[in-house]
A and B are shown apart, each in its own frame.
Chain A
């Protein structure tokens, strides 16, 4: 069977499974549509959260990000996992106890302010829409790469699948499909990683392999890697080269951004009890850690593999001839992720850091005229099965895994967007008297519209689509996380304080991002060039969310202390979210 048929079969089987789940898990009430009837087992919810959280970027790009830079990009690993500690202790259990359906609803009730609720809706929509566009383009790209259909067709197929289970099943359908999608994506990620680790280090676990001996050179893997990258003029892999302050702030922004992202928070509304919400955050991190501890190993091993393949005569000698390149390089050249240009016309591949001044002399002495290979970071994951000579079904599984990662995250985001519209805007503001049936219909229509809009934006990505980290995490960190936390941990923060906090955090963060990245991300409208020399105290626009959060906390505190304290019933509400008892049966008891 050829690779194409195999890809088609494996991806087709995974899609059939998702549709089967869609038919089985239909939602009959708003509680099922928004919160899966609050009957999801904490371990299942952990698995669903894993798929919800791990996007196309986590699956395809993260290992490549670490691979290209090494230690300095550990920020992604710590940032995207450390947020779960904050979720488990600062937000999830109390928001579950509150027992409503959306994040803006908590903000509106706790701060007795429809304005606060609407500001939260806007933050949620901007953050989630930015995020979902990346997933939709990811679906299109994955289809195009593995199934040889064009991006648009791929996107339509993906959107149709999501439409089926999200519109029919709401959170209930999404939850159980996410569980299946988690299984697909983790298998697809682990299998190639295990084999590569075995080949390079003889260790079965990539997590152990990363810190083991590289069999071929009898040196520790990381020592070997450091040596070869520095021999080629790159910065050392394990060394610290970035500003420490920026690393700290960036990690913090990712952490509090993770904890403040509405599509992650609502997953914890689906478990039966407050105690379950705490454990479920732990399970979510178990399932996430399986991939997140594999990724740095994949990154380091794939880089070593690539460099070893090209310069098998020693790093500073001439590379392999272009004719002798391995098959996987030929395959990936077709996709454009790998490009070779014979600059000095010697028929050999030279790959080194041609931007390094210190390395120029060596390169010139060798007659090298520049680095001849352009490598897209994504290849570190995508080409892994071929580099490791694994059978065709593993390649097919990676295709299904990439699609599962993109689809599961897209569905979670679409649910967050559509419930904000049907529950916060329609029921909360425009038509409070809407019946249960009417709201369920409104929720389904909102979901349908959200999918159509996301598909359109996926096909025609606006300029801000590439700014997921800056926009989605920046907004969640600077605007949503602080008010949610203050709403639980302080009785004194009032309506005016919350609105002032959210707006000042949001505006501060956006302005800082726009100054460097262009106003509304329109090219050439930035006041200052986006590089470390121009950043205030060396803080990158991607790290500014942490400072925005501090602005938010400060403004909320100041304004609250100058205005009236919240009414007694709000203080009682805060007390009640702090204790687990009475989550389901407060009135009936």
Chain B
């Protein structure tokens, strides 16, 4: 924690940090909804042409694919937030 970091963390940079975080979350929620509610349920008929292991891609997303995507999402988010924390000097 340097003095410079302290000076940076004024009103403005905290606001910018927060909106960067919220943007990141929104993108993640779009992907989260797309793979589960989208590919897994609502859009499944559109993907029915893509065969995978005796069934279609939508079935795979519903029973397995969405879980894998969720996993990747959380780790990528955590890593990007570490970077963001450091950028705005708000890390612990």
Contacts and interface: CB of A to CB of B under 8 A. Distances in A.
Interface of A: 66, 71, 74, 77-78, 81-82, 84-85, 88-90, 93, 207, 210-213, 219-224, 238, 240, 244, 247-248, 251-252, 273-275, 278-279, 281-282, 285-286, 289, 292-293, 296, 489, 575, 578-584, 589
Contacts of B71: 282, 285-286, 289
9 contacts: A74-B59, A78-B40, A90-B25, A248-B37, A251-B41, A278-B78, A579-B17, A581-B92, A584-B92
Contacts of A222: 53-55, 59
Given A278-B78, A281-B74, A282-B75, A78 B67 contact: yes
B42 A244 contact: yes
B81 A293 contact: no
Interface string B67-91: 1101101110110011001000111
Contact of B36 (A66, A223, A251, A582): A251
A270 to B, nearest CB: 16
Given A275-B82, A286-B71, A579 B90 contact: yes
A252 B70 CA distance: 14
A296 B74 contact: no
B84 to A, nearest CB: 10
A90 B91 CA distance: 18
B53 A275 contact: no
- Residue of A88, A89, A210 with highest tally of chain B CB at under 10 A: A89
Nearest to A286: B71
Contact of A275 (B14, B28, B32, B85): B85
Nearest to A207: B64
Given A210-B64, A273-B92, 7 more contacts: A77-B63, A78-B36, A211-B53, A220-B54, A238-B59, A275-B91, A292-B67
Contact of B9 (A224, A238, A581): A581
A74 B39 CA distance: 12
A273 B78 CA distance: 12
B52 interface: yes
Contacts of B29: 85, 89
A293 B44 contact: no
Contact of B77 (A88, A292, A489, A578): A88
Contact of A71 (B32, B52, B59, B66): B59
Interface in B21-41: 21-22, 25, 28-29, 32, 36-37, 40-41
B26 to A, nearest CB: 10
A273 B85 CA distance: 12
A580 B85 contact: yes
A361 B12 CA distance: 75
A445 to B, nearest CB: 35
A278 B77 contact: yes
Contacts of A281: 74, 78
A252 B37 CA distance: 9
Contacts of B62: 71, 74, 77-78
Given A220-B53, A580-B92, A89 B70 contact: no
Contacts of B64: 77, 207, 210, 293, 296
A72 B65 CA distance: 16
B17 A212 contact: no
A85 B32 contact: yes
Contacts of B54: 211, 213, 219-224
**Which 6 pairs, one residue from A and one from B, show the smallest C-beta to C-beta distance?**
A211-B53, A220-B54, A74-B62, A282-B74, A222-B54, A278-B78
Contacts of A248: 37, 41-42
A84 B70 contact: yes
A244 B41 contact: yes
Contacts of B53: 210-212, 220-222
Contacts of B56: 238
Contacts of A71: 59, 62-63
Given A81-B67, A90-B25, A278 B74 contact: yes
A352 to B, nearest CB: 23
Contact of A578 (B14, B42, B55, B74): B14
A589 B75 CA distance: 30
Nearest to B89: A581
Contacts of A489: 22
Contacts of B59: 71, 74, 222, 238
Contacts of B66: 77-78, 81-82
Contact of A579 (B14, B52, B60, B74): B14
A9 B41 CA distance: 45
A275 B37 contact: no
Contacts of A90: 25
A588 to B, nearest CB: 12
A550 to B, nearest CB: 15
- Residue of A85, A219, A252, A582 with highest tally of chain B CB at under 10 A: A85
Given A221-B54, A222-B54, A286-B71, A82 B81 contact: no
B58 to A, nearest CB: 8
Contacts of B36: 78, 82, 251
A275 B92 contact: yes
A84 B74 contact: yes
Contacts of A589: 1
B91 A211 contact: no
Contacts of A247: 41
